[in-house]
Amino acid sequence: MNAAMTQDAILKISSLQKRYGEVNVLKDIDISMAPGEFLVLVGPSGCGKSTLLSCISGLTDISSGTIHIAGRDRTNDEPADRDIAMVFQSYALFPNMSVERNIGFGLEVRKVNEAEKKRKVAEVADLLKIEHLLHRRPAELSGGQRQRVAMGRALVREPKLFLFDEPLSNLDAKLRVTMRTEIKRIHQTTGASIVYVTHDQIEAMTLASRIVVMKDGVVQQIGTPQEIYNKPVNAFVADFMGAPSMNLMTGTATREGEHVRLQIPTPEGPPLELFDYGPGPETLAAGDTAELTIGLRPEAMTDLGLRSGGMDGRTLQSADCLLDVVEPAGADTYAVVQLGGTEAVARLSADAPVAAGQRVPIAFDLSKISYFDIASGNRL
Amino acid sequence: MRRSLVQSILLYGCALLLAAFTAGPLLWLAVMSISAPTDLTEVPLRWIPSQLDFSRYAALLSLDGGNGERFLSALRNSILTAGGATAAALLLAIPAAYAFSRRQASMVLLFAFLATIMMPPITYVLPLYSTFSSLGLLNHTVTLIIVYTAMLLPFATWLMKANIDVLPVEVEQAAFMEGAGTAYTIRQVVLPLALPAIAATAMLSFLVAWDEFFYALIFTNDLSAKTLPVAIADFSAGRVTDYGVIASVGVLATLPPAILAIAFQKFIVSGLVAGSVKG
Amino acid sequence: MLGRRQKREKWILLAPALAVLALITLIPLANTLWLSFTDTRISALPEPVHFIGLENYVYALTDPDFQEALFRTLYFTIVSVGLEGVLGVAVAVLLNQEFRGRTLLRALIILPWAVPTIVNAVAWRLIYHPDYGALNSLLFQLGIISDYRSWIGDPATAMNMVILADVWKNFPLVAYVALAALQTVPEDLSKAAAIEGAGPWKRFCSITLPWIAGPLMVVMVLRTIEAFRVFDIIYVMTGGGPADSTKTASFYVYQEYFNYLRSGSGASYAVLVAGISAVLIVFYYSVTKRQTAGGAA
Ligand SMILES: Nc1ncnc2c1ncn2[C@@H]1O[C@H](COP(=O)(O)OP(=O)(O)O)[C@@H](O)[C@H]1O
Ligand SMILES: [Mg+2]
């Protein structure tokens, strides 16, 4: 993040803390967000995402720190004065009002004149394809339609910043995918700045321009989906992001000349041996051996060896593995291999001629490897 | 579980007994109100009236004749007093309830509210009497409305608070985010959602005010302000020699609350249970 | 900031209610307290008022009539609330069974509750009438009594007859609360106990009763507070008589105020009665709190 960008940040959170009595729910949060960004806060349930969003909105008072929105200190401002809009998980539509009045409520409160209000509501209704619903009540709408109305209410005021709290979690799986695309489309057409909370890492990966991964009230990593996915800063992020998640195997690494020798124990016999010709774990000095966590995503453990046999022996290395369980999943077949004290998952092609109990050569892509400290879980 | 014959007989026997105990006095009151005066002074009693006599109701519901005037003005005063106090109490109770439910007002304070109406009225009555007397406000419907408002307010606040508690808070937050103030949010968002609760609270409040006797006895002394309970006590205290008249006044005064209670039984019972048990 | 604004708003929202309660209850309460230390009398002409310290209290506490009134009130309270409790629970158990007409009966028992207190008093006064009352006639015709009685004209029976009338009106509340609680008793619990061989009475005592004890306790204490200030039904049915046998504390204070016009000493009686009520109210608060805390767990 360069200095100019911080200057123009649409949202800048500095040293934010939130305590409920003795409990520190948010610890020293620092986040900066550029205009037009789609920032996704992701983390397991109870990690403080909603609380953080609520602090940004002003619905919750913070214990210490500052919040700047569009360059102005908004720490002590009312929610209504922060130039933001929020879409709630439960939609929070006004049940006694028509869709039209729901969407126009913010304008009504601000005493925008009737014609102007009608025009803006119509514009937003058009964008969200809900013109035909304007005279209905929320109770007469489907989940997806309510979702659109909730977004309409946020969009109509053209605020500087949009806050979404798990907006899709009340929808069924299929609708969730549709609405996800819809939200992405709206972001692209309006160029709005969005802070979006979800516990669903797939949603995070597909929507975000940048992701903030949280755990226990602490920001673990901020980065683009690619950074988060390929270079997780710790074992938690590695495990949380991606489905199936990264295989975290315990093994040893020894630096031998130009490569690092990796040994991953297997229950059935001699350990699996791989050679990392890349930089390897930075902290490992020449000749040293260390026990550590070796992280490889399922798509870095494939059946390429079965099909082509063309191993270059450097980034792509083959080793025989005993398949414990084989789970066809349509586009892919997942195979479970007992490696380094964990049930490592390999992602094979759908038509791979394999069955449980077989020993087959698996191709390991070492360009995608990550190392983590066993004790701290931090990336090495 | 299957019941044996003995159990069934026992069960239905108890049910009948309960029905008789509950309905008996009311039924008798109704019968008295339509029995001929001579039937009511037979010894032992004639249980079934020799003829149906609705003349008392006719007399009570017509303005000419002392009893009719006394009854109708008391009815008017009771409706005005109970209605006015209910409206005023709700008007004050709704914002207070919102403060307790959504603005972290202390529960101890709410309990202090409730404690004020649990105290015996003799604690308050004399200073109130002196004040109203010196203000020339004795024997005014307004006086009773003021006192009843204070009497209904704590319970109404409490019931409304319990009902606002269960409304989705996010809807209100959404209104705040959209820029609405608290007053606007209460009016436009909370009240429409709480309408059933308001109706239930209003009904219970009305019934409590309709029933009040002590303050009315002390603060009123003639037709212009006496409420039904006081008028009934007067009827019963002797001016009337026909017991059937007393019975018909009783029946008429019971009809409004009884109809409300039966029609809105679920509403009222849940309000009662909540009101008396939850803290 | 939200927190600060909310604090300010809280008091704005509460202010009207607080003002009304202060004017109609708090200030009069303080005033009554002040009166109780004076020799004020109700009179048309202004009279000099003297501060006489605890004199009224000394007199009140040694006044055998007042003590008797307190004991009578206690008797009324304990017996009527006790009966309402027993009858209420019994009715609730009955109404919790399945039988034809249950819905009707459930609706029926709301009627006594809906009957205005004064109408209740008047109706029972007529029922108890020594010459033309339904009770005398019924019992005579059933052969239970051989002579008509003066039920509320006889000091020996008057209080108990008033209590019966009070119980009739107030048992529905207890019954409804008990019924609501009964409906939450898990069926499994009772079934399990039945399988263990517990009889119906034992099941009731060891499972049902403890389960509904919390809410039952709360409503009984509430009824106790109400019963303790009994006035209306006494005023209409007996006027405190015969021979003062139904003169309760509230009635006693009422007479001191409005018959004998002694506001000073009346106020001291009122304060003493209020003190006892306050103890009951604090007790109510503690059981309610325990109940909600237990209910939430
Ligand atoms: N009003 C509150 N009082 C006390 N603790 C709270 C309150 N709101 C949230 N918490 C706690 O803060 C933590 C974070 O909650 P939340 O932000 O809702 O998590 P998320 O949205 O990530 O699931 C949780 O442990 C929760 O119990
Ligand atoms: Mg959440």
Q: What percent of chain B has pLDDT over 90?
A: 55
- Sign of the torsion formed by the C-alpha atoms of C63, C68, C74 and C76: negative
The fold for domain B62-277 equals MetI-like fold (1.10.3720)
Q: CA-CA distances (angstroms) from residue C8 to B99, C1, C3, C12?
A: 10, 11, 9, 7
DSSP A83: S
Least Cα separation, residue B154 to chain C (angstroms): 9
* Extents of the domains making up chain B: 62-277
- Ligand 1 nearest atom to the CA of residue A52, by list position: 17
Q: Which of B172, B173, B176, B177 to mutate to test the interface with A (most CBs of A within 10 A)?
A: B177
Banded pLDDT at B85 (limits 50, 70, 90)? very high
> Which whole number is the average pLDDT over A235-249?
90
Angle B7-B8-B10 (CA atoms, 0-180°, nearest 5)?
65
Mean pLDDT value of segment B239-256: 88
Residue A20 near ligand 1, beta carbon < 6 Å: yes
Q: Which residue has the higher pLDDT, A68 or B46?
A: A68
Is A4 a residue whose pLDDT tops 60?
no
**Token couple for C63:** 């006044």
Q: Which pTM value belongs to this model?
A: 0.86
Residue whose CA is at the smallest distance from ligand 1 atom 16: A48
| CA B268 to chain CA centroid, nearest Å | 11
Arithmetic mean of pLDDT, A347-366: 86
Ligand nearest to the CA of A18: 1
How much is the pLDDT for B279?
41
pLDDT 10s digits, A165-197: 998 888 888 888 988 998 999 999 888 999 999
Nearest residue (CA) to ligand 1, atom 4: A20
Is B178 touching A (CB cutoff 8 A)? yes
At residue C7, the pLDDT reads 79
Residue of B nearest to C111 (CA): B258
- Tell whether ligand 1 has an atom less than 6 A from the beta carbon of residue A47: yes
Domains and CATH numbers, chain A: 11-237 (3.40.50.300), 247-372 (2.40.50.140)
Average of pLDDT values for A55-78?
91
Interchain contact, A106 vs B178, CB within 8 Å? yes
Pocket test for ligand 1, best of A20, A86, A201, A219 (most atoms within 8 A of CB): A20
Provide mean pLDDT across the span B245-271.
88
Mean pLDDT for all residues in chain B: 89
Q: Which of A51-65, A254-268, B166-180, B186-200 has the lowest mean pLDDT?
A: A254-268
Enter the tokens of residue A54. Answer: 């609520």
Q: Do B178 and A84 touch (CB under 8 A)?
A: no
Q: Could you report how far apart the first and last alpha carbons of chain C are, in Å? A: 34
The number of CA neighbours under 13 Å toward the Cβ of A326 is 20
| Summary count for chain A: helices (H), strands (E) | 10, 20
pLDDT at position B277: 60
Task: Show residues of chain A in contact with C3, CB under 8 Å.
Answer: 61
Q: Is the CB of A40 under 6 A from ligand 1?
A: no
Residue of C nearest to B42 (CA): C132
Per the listing, tokens 């009763």 go with C209
Closest by CA position to C163, among listed C257, C234, C110: C234
- Of the CATH numbers 3.40.50.1980, 3.40.50.720, 1.20.1730.10, 1.10.3720.10, which one belongs to the domain with range C77-248? 1.10.3720.10
Chain B nearest-CA distance from A159, in A, is 10
Question: Mean pLDDT in chain A?
Answer: 89
Interatomic CA distance for residues B182 and B170, integer angstroms: 14
ipTM of the complex: 0.91
Number of neighbouring beta carbons within 10 Å of residue B103: 19
B177 alpha carbon to ligand 1 midpoint, in Å?
20
The whole-number average pLDDT for the span B116-134 is 91
What's the rounded mean pLDDT across residues B148-171?
92
Residues of A in contact with C5 (CB under 8 A): 78
Spatial CA neighbour of C98 closest among B15, A361, B155: B15
Q: How confident is the model at residue A7 (pLDDT cuts 50, 70, 90)?
A: low
Long-range Cβ contact pairs of C75-81 (< 8 A, separation 24 or more)? C75/C159, C76/C159, C76/C162, C76/C163, C76/C166, C76/C227, C76/C230, C76/C248, C77/C224, C77/C227, C77/C228, C77/C230, C79/C160, C79/C163, C80/C163, C80/C166, C80/C167, C80/C170, C80/C227, C81/C220, C81/C223, C81/C224, C81/C227
Ligand 1 within 6 A of A54 CB? no
Q: With contact defined as beta carbons under 8 Å apart, do B74 and B230 qualify? A: yes
pLDDT band at B19 (very low <50, low <70, confident <90, very high): very high
**DSSP letters for C99-117:** -TTHHHHHHHTHHHHHS-H
pLDDT mean values, one per 10 residues, chain C (297 residues): 73 94 94 89 78 86 91 94 95 90 90 94 92 86 86 90 95 91 83 78 84 87 90 92 89 90 88 91 85 53
- Give pLDDT, residue C1: 47
d(Cα C86, Cα B3) in Å, to the nearest integer? 24
Q: By a Cβ cutoff of 8 Å, what residues of chain A touch chain B?
A: 57, 59, 78-80, 84-86, 88-90, 92-97, 105-106, 109-110, 153, 157
Question: Which of A51, A56, A165, A166 has most ligand 1 atoms within 8 Å of its beta carbon, as the pocket-test mutant?
Answer: A51
Atom 1, ligand 1: residue with shortest CA distance: A20
Ligand 1 pocket residue status of A49, Cβ below 6 Å: yes
Instruction: Please name the residue that has the structure tokens 């191993």.
Output: A311
Give A45 Cα–ligand 1 centroid separation in angstroms: 9
The helix (run of H) or strand (run of E) holding residue B72 is helix B66-102
pLDDT tens readout for residues A270-326? 888 888 888 888 888 888 888 999 999 998 898 876 555 555 667 788 888 888 899
Could you tell me the sign of the dihedral formed by the alpha carbons of C283, C234, B152, C112, in that order?
positive
Number of residue pairs across B and C with CB atoms under 8 Å? Answer: 289
In whole angstroms, what is the distance from residue A134 CA to residue A146 CA? 11
Tell me, what's the pLDDT at B1? Answer: 55
The pLDDT of residue A125: 94
- Cα B82 to chain centroid distance, Å, stands at 8
Question: How far B187 CA sits from the closest chain A CA (Å)?
Answer: 12
Structure tokens at A284: 């490992």
| Residue C119 near residue B253 (C-beta atoms within 8 A) | yes
A29 lines ligand 1 (CB under 6 A): no
The one-letter amino acid code at B253 reads A
Per-residue pLDDT, averaged over B149-171, amounts to 92
Q: What's the pLDDT score for residue C228?
A: 92
Is C8 in the A-facing interface, judged by CB distances under 8 Å? no
Cβ A281 vs Cβ A272: under 8 Å: no
Residue C2 touches chain A, beta carbons under 8 Å: yes
Query: Residue A331: enclosing H or E segment and its boundaries?
Result: none
Rounded CA-CA distance C282/B114 in Å is 11
Residue B189 has what DSSP assignment?
Answer: I
pLDDT attached to residue A309: 52
Chains contacting C (3+ CB pairs below 8 angstroms): A, B
Strands A38-42 and A193-198: parallel
Contact A109 B192 (CB under 8 A): no
